[in-house]
Chain A
Amino acid sequence: MSEKLATAVPSSGGSRGGSGENGRRLLLGAYFDFIRIRFLTMLAYRVNYYSGILIYTLNIGVNYFTWRAIYGDGESLGGFTGAQMTTYVAVSWMARAFYFNNLDREISTDIRDGSIAIQFIRPYNYVLVKMMQGLGEGLFRFMMLMIPGMVIATLLFPVQLPTEPSAWAGFLVMLFFSFLISSQINIITGLSAFFVENNEGMMRMKRVVVDLFSGLIVPITLFPDWLSSVLKVLPFQAITYLPGSVFTGRVQGVGIWNVLGIQVIWFLILLIPIVWLNHAARQRLFVQGG
């Protein structure tokens, strides 16, 4: 094939560094640029996010007072003490500030308005580019939304954060996997636009399902037994409930490694439908608008 290429491009005179080590390094550089550019773009619109801090703080407040009313004088509920629940709520919402993104909407817009065509004439992997853009957005949200939000939440509510550095390190690693798994689910939802004409309903359902079944609104131990045993074999708990449990100190020691293991396994499993969807989509692709 390389011979054919050489004859087909007599005029290029070696302007193409497409093969070999150098080419790969450049492409890797491009993927990092996607992170950087998304970060800078978000930074340009940062004012939008000041209201975000307020909204997330409000959400924590609403949940905090609701749970306080539910607890009343009670000691513990579903294995959570009142103090643990406060911390859990704060940590879960702040984690969401980081891992949440709109990759599903971005992808399905690309597909539905036909701009996906532009993505397919470039020598890169579209899904990987989207993941990188999501990471750029995540980094921005981490710094501009999650950290200031966390500080405000700690000042307003009796949140008890762990003091040992290992818990923090573990939490950050798990948070990263929360981001990966949540983005993977977004990508799968987005790519479904290849197969259904309008995936608006799927995107809405995904959002509710992720918020509810990940344990963001109600910790999974508080669901009825049959439901919580179903949820234990679904990927959603790996987004919020498991890392939150570790960070609030409910899971300790070897349990932490188990949690991380579950996240890694879900990350790997979710790669399969993405690869399959991406492949099947190539056969079905239907570029809208001519």
Chain B
Amino acid sequence: MNAIQVQDLRKTFKVQKNREGLKGAFADLFKRQYSEVTAVKDISFSIPEGEICGYIGENGAGKSTTIKMLTGILVPTAGSLTVGGFVPYEEREKFVQNIGVVFGQRSQLWWDIGVIESFQLLRKVYRVSEQDFKKRLDELVERLELQDLLNRPVRKLSLGQRMRCELVAALLHNPSILFLDEPTIGLDIVVKSEIREFLKDMNREHGTTILLTTHDLQDIEALCSRVIMLDDGRIIYDGGLDDLKQRWGTGREVQFQFGTATKLQQLIGWTEGMPVTWTAENELAAKVWIPLELNVSDVLGRVVGQADITDIKIIETNTDDIVRSIYQSGSAEKPEERIAALSDEKEVIHV
């Protein structure tokens, strides 16, 4: 059974237009002009139970709007959606019992009261019995090491501490679906990896379905088997992370440091007949871009014998680069004619 089922979902906002100048301001006083902005454009996807799915896209691509429709905060303009067997916006109060939500940029704890008091209040709000609550809280507190924080007021917590408390707050009622909107934003690397580990464990032990949006692709690499990529309100990629890498990882880059000055012309001459591209940073450093179908060792073989090399570094195209080039091109399809253009683009990025 699918935990989340979305069909032709659309959300249109009416945005007030402000006309220019004094005249425009007066005109606005009497007759407002509105323009329609479609944030989410007829998207469809489904997420089976127990899956961790990454939902990525540039700022303003429509990620948060989708999450807000899935959690029952926003009412969609068109299309249908079911989450955990409910239509979120129709039976909001019943539906939200079943889900947990963490917004990285907003706190759901009460600022002025102690952490434990916030949890107690949420227990009552979500109607969790005392013994279930105790069991669940002990488990979460131990797992996230919150023992010392429980009696502090929320406003005295650091961001990392607060984020771990936010996770507990979202999970106290043991939801079967968890939505995370940029859960690791602003956190240091230690807390980030702690949270990733925790989410992985949770998914394994409780079968919790997780949908997360993030700008940190390491979150995606660590957690998600599947990625949905959004651009300008449309889904441009939906599938495995490995597929994405394979499809887009167009080559590798090798960086050379030379002991003696080496001219770019020489380098190009040595690799005559190979489809590689050289760029020189200065006389002592250069790099070469090698397409996937060519062996790195072949290229190295040609250079190593000739030049005085002090250091070699081989760089695989990482997910960041892949995603960046997809964002730039606005499509996850890879038409053949674009490859050439793309490799040029990559050079620009690396220089």
Contact = CB atoms under 8 A, between A and B. Distances in A.
B96 A5 contact: no
B95 to A, nearest CB: 8
Assign chain A's interface to a size class: 35 or more
Contacts of B120: 33
A23 B71 CA distance: 22
A27 B125 contact: yes
Contact of A286 (B13, B92, B94): B13
Interface in A26-77: 26-27, 29-30, 33-34, 37, 40-41, 44
Interface in A113-130: 114-115, 117-118, 120-125
Given A15-B173, A16-B173, A282 B89 contact: yes
Interface residues of B, number: 55
Given A1-B91, A282-B75, A118 B176 contact: no
A14 B204 CA distance: 19
Interface string B218-230: 0000000000000
A5 B85 contact: yes
B125 A123 contact: yes
A8 B120 CA distance: 25
A118 B173 CA distance: 16
A163 interface: no
Contact of A121 (B16, B71, B86, B105): B71
Interface string B65-93: 00010011111000000001110010111
A17 interface: yes
B184 interface: no
A289 B93 CA distance: 24
A121 B98 contact: no
Given A37-B110, A121-B72, A30 B84 contact: no
A40 B108 CA distance: 19
Nearest to B49: A8
B1 interface: yes
A285 B73 contact: yes
Nearest to A196: B16
Interface string A7-22: 1111110111110001
A290 interface: yes
Interface of A: 1, 4-5, 7-12, 14-18, 22-24, 26-27, 29-30, 33-34, 37, 40-41, 44, 114-115, 117-118, 120-125, 197, 282-283, 285-287, 289-290
Interface of B: 1, 3, 13, 16, 49, 59-60, 64, 68, 71-75, 84-86, 89, 91-94, 96-99, 101, 103, 105-108, 110, 112-113, 117, 120-121, 123-129, 132, 135-136, 173-174, 176-177, 206-208
The 3 closest A-B pairs by CB, nearest first: A4-B85, A30-B124, A23-B127
